[in-house]
Amino acid sequence: MTRLVCYRCGETAAFPERKRCECGEPLWFDTDGAAAGFAWPDGDAPGRTGGPWRYADLLPVERRDGVGAGAGDTPLVRAAGLDDDAGCRLWLKDESQNPTGSFKDRGSAVGVAWAAANDRPWVGTVSHGNMAISTAAHAAGTDADCVVLVPDDISAERLAAIAQYDPRILRVSGDYGRLYYDALDADVPVEFVNSDTPLRVAGQKTTALEICAAFAAGAGDPDRTAPDAIVLPTSSGGHASASWKALRELEAAGLLDADSLPRLCLVQAAACDPIAEAYREGREEVTAVDAGETVAYSIANADPPSGTRALAAVRATGGAVVSVPDEEILDAQSTLAAEAGFCAEVASATTLAGIRRLSAAGELAADDAVVAVLTGTGFRELDADGETPEAVDLGTLPERLRALAE
């Protein structure tokens, strides 16, 4: 699999020489031939032992040992206790169960495996969050060295989380938003696996493949071969694009048809919502916005490189894009933990906040089967500012327990 294609204009290019089309849009792997003959795997086979590798026929590289072998195969959990809150029948796809705690491991597993298999001495990424952690972790233990480009004002906590995997970290001053493009254009021996590059999209599409496989096997709703909607938090548009790529491949394989195709619904923080703004205004192109401060800082991308492709995914599947304010995001995060037992990062909690709004607007119905993708763990974000419980003397413990029971 070495040919790339543009979803919009159909132009092709060779990989890895190009990552973006001359029309300005991102490229992805041309899998039309492979998709036409694809069927749900019956069981394990060499190179297909689980996770993203179960779908090796649709990937540009075979499985390699290491942390990447543990990516994917994350649980799809029915959250019936949240149905009334969500306004639909809710499932949670818990991506925090990936090796470094986020869905980024899917793209990193494929990207680093490709770099190692093709004798690339360096693999890199532009990130100061989950993607940086994931890329560095997956490069550790391979023959490829890793370089991570971070902004010069990165916090000490984030720097430590990345540095534990011993990558080469470069703090870069200037316009960090431009660094995505500058890194791809640089004539250096580094395979950059940025947010929406072809290798990362190839790995990240397996989130949607796993969701649809679970429903096809009856593990979701036995009355449906696929969910009615898949809801994702959205930043660069890479994960949304990858999910659309998965649905296109399943449709080409005859495993989904127009009547069973899930709607892709995207959620952004209200303070930084360029894709949602374009959707509200009925535009086909996503343009940059002036970003404000938001608690969901990891998805606050004011100029998403795959924003227009993500918007096209929404239009093609009959989905929607919604933005939610910080107070609703934090309330959703609290609800996921206290009512369902999931510690989701703030950005992940936008899914539940968005689903509430989509249901209230009539975009989702009470009997719809909806999957909210929880893209990462919230344990890295916890601090010690919570309320301290009252201290109880050991001698009075029996009486206090009886009082609680009463």
- Please tell me the distance from the alpha carbon of residue 108 to that of residue 61, in angstroms, as a whole number: 12
Q: What is the DSSP letter of 147?
A: E
Neighbours of 302 (CB within 10 A): 16
Q: What is the pLDDT, as a whole number, of residue 360?
A: 98
Which of these ranges, 129-138, 169-178, 205-214, 301-310, has the smallest mean pLDDT? 169-178
> Does a structural domain hold residue 110?
no
Lookup: tokens for 204? 């990240």
**Over residues 246-253, mean pLDDT:** 97
Per-residue confidence at 45, pLDDT binned at 50, 70, 90?
Answer: low
Q: Classify 184 in phi/psi space as left (phi over 0), alpha (psi -120 to 50) or beta.
A: alpha
Give bridge partners of residue 14 from the DSSP assignment. 3
Residues near 391 by Cβ (< 8 Å), separated by ≥ 6? Answer: none
Nearest to 62 by CA among 149, 1, 130: 1
pLDDT higher for 220 or 173? 173
**Angstrom distance (rounded) from CA 2 to CA 319:** 31
Residue 273 falls inside a structural domain:
yes
CB count in 10 Å sphere of residue 228: 19
Query: Does 107 map to a domain?
Result: no
**Residue written as tokens 């491991």?**
105
Contacts of 381 (CB under 8 A, 6+ apart): 345, 346
92 pLDDT above the threshold of 90: yes
**Rounded Cα gap, residues 133 and 269, in angstroms:** 23
pLDDT tens by residue, 340-349: 999 999 999 9
Q: In the structure, what pLDDT confidence band is assigned to residue 385 with cuts at 50, 70 and 90?
A: low
Residue bearing tokens 């938003």: 177
Is the pLDDT confidence value at 392 over 80? Answer: no
Parallel, antiparallel, or unpaired for β 168-172 and 145-151?
parallel
* Contact status, residue 246 vs residue 212, Cβ threshold 8 Å: yes
CB-CB contact of 321 with 279 (8 Å) = yes
With tokens 């009512």, the residue in question is 339
Q: Does residue 365 lie in a domain region?
A: yes
Strand order in the sheet with 27-29: 12-14, 3-6, 27-29
Q: Strand, helix or coil at 58?
A: helix
403 within domain boundaries = no
Query: What's the CATH number where 84 sits?
Result: 3.40.50.1100
Q: What is the pLDDT of residue 378?
A: 87
β-partners of residue 261 are none
Higher-pLDDT residue of 47 and 403 is 403
168-218 tens-digit pLDDT: 999 998 888 888 999 998 888 899 999 999 999 999 999 999 999 999 999
Range of the domain at 337: 72-101+201-380
How many folded domains does the chain comprise? 1
Q: From start to end of 165-309, where are the E strands?
A: 168-172, 190-192, 229-233, 263-269
Q: Cβ distance 124 to 131 under 8 Å?
A: no
pLDDT (tens digit, 9 = 90+) per residue, 256-291?
A: 998 899 999 999 999 999 999 999 999 999 999 999
Segment 325-340, tens digit of pLDDT: 999 999 999 999 999 9
Q: Is the pLDDT of residue 386 over 90?
A: no
pLDDT score of 405 more than 90: no
Number of neighbouring beta carbons within 10 Å of residue 19: 22
Mean of pLDDT over the chain: 93
* pLDDT computed for residue 74 by the predictor: 96
Can you tell me the mean pLDDT for 285-300? 94
Tokens representing 371?
Answer: 């999957």
* Residue 29: inside a domain: no
Q: Rounded mean pLDDT of 375-400?
A: 79
Residue 51, helix vs strand vs coil: helix
Looking at per-residue pLDDT, the higher value among 274 and 158 belongs to 274
pLDDT exceeds 80 at position 387:
no
Is residue 391 very low, low, confident or very high in pLDDT (cuts 50, 70, 90)? confident
165 assigned to some structural domain: no
SS3 content of the chain, % helix, strand, coil (to 5): 40, 15, 40
For 324-357, b/e burial (b = at least 16 CB within 10 A) is bebebbebbbebbeeebebbbbbbbbbbbbbbbb
* Angle (CA) 11 13 15, round 5°: 150
Within-domain flag for 80: yes
Sheet bearing 263-269, strands edge to edge: 76-78, 89-94, 369-374, 229-233, 263-269, 320-324
Burial class (CB in 10 A: 0-12, 13-18, 19+), 387: exposed
